[in-house]
Amino acid sequence: MSSEAPKLYVHKPKKAQLKKHLQQLRSSPSPSPSPSPSSSSVPSSTSVIPPKLPPAQPKATQPNESFARRFKFLWPLLLAVNLSVGAYVFMRTKKKDNTEEEVAAVSPSPISLISTVSVEEPVKEREPISLVEQHELYNWILEEKRKLKPKNPEEKKKIDEEKAILKQFIRAKSPPSL
């Protein structure tokens, strides 16, 4: 076996180009048969004419090659950029959550800031609610508690206790003042 590596065609012509070239060779006059090397001591220069093929198209403009294969060097770059942008967005939102929690833990509540800055206003006295209105209010609250759908047994127990207290207020001769 020969030690030569197989020859690779960098600019391999297409079948259509080869057919055109063969048709041109057939239509043109054929060269005379080459004389045998033993008959003459000087080899003739016209003995073998190498076929002239039209230049092949550049690789980038070949229509049969897909876009992904033509720019395959871009895929790792695209993947790296995509991952880095994703990591940046993820860390940025995580950092915002942490800072909001820290600010809430460190800074005093806005209500306390307002109360320390503003002048305290006197508490306004409201008119007392009549017994009839209190009774109606307790009945309304009881109806709303009956409409609630408990999600678990603990919540059901809590609602039942609140309803029992409301029933006591409704039955009492003098309900507690509001």
**168-176: average pLDDT:** 82
Which pLDDT does position 40 carry in this prediction?
A: 46
Give the position of tokens 């043109």: 28
Residue 155 has pLDDT above 70, yes or no: yes
Kindly state the tokens that stand for 149. Answer: 């759908």
Residue 70 has pLDDT above 70, yes or no: yes
CB-based contacts of 12, cutoff 8 Å, min separation 6: 56
pLDDT digits (tens, 9 = 90+) for 112-138: 555 555 667 888 888 888 888 888 999
Residue of 56 and 149 predicted with greater confidence: 149
Which pLDDT does position 95 carry in this prediction?
A: 74
Which pLDDT does position 128 carry in this prediction?
A: 83
Which pLDDT does position 39 carry in this prediction?
A: 46
**157-174: average pLDDT:** 90
Residue 81 has pLDDT above 90, yes or no: yes
Cα–Cα distance for residue pair 142/161, rounded to 1 Å: 11
pLDDT digits (tens, 9 = 90+) for 97-116: 776 666 555 555 555 555 55
Which pLDDT does position 146 carry in this prediction?
A: 93
How far from chain centre, in Å, is Cα 73? 22
Cα–Cα distance for residue pair 162/168, rounded to 1 Å: 10
Kindly state the tokens that stand for 168. Answer: 């006591």
Cα–Cα distance for residue pair 60/57, rounded to 1 Å: 8
Residue 47 has pLDDT above 80, yes or no: no
Alpha helical stretches, state H, the chain: 15-27, 67-70, 74-106, 110-117, 131-147, 153-171
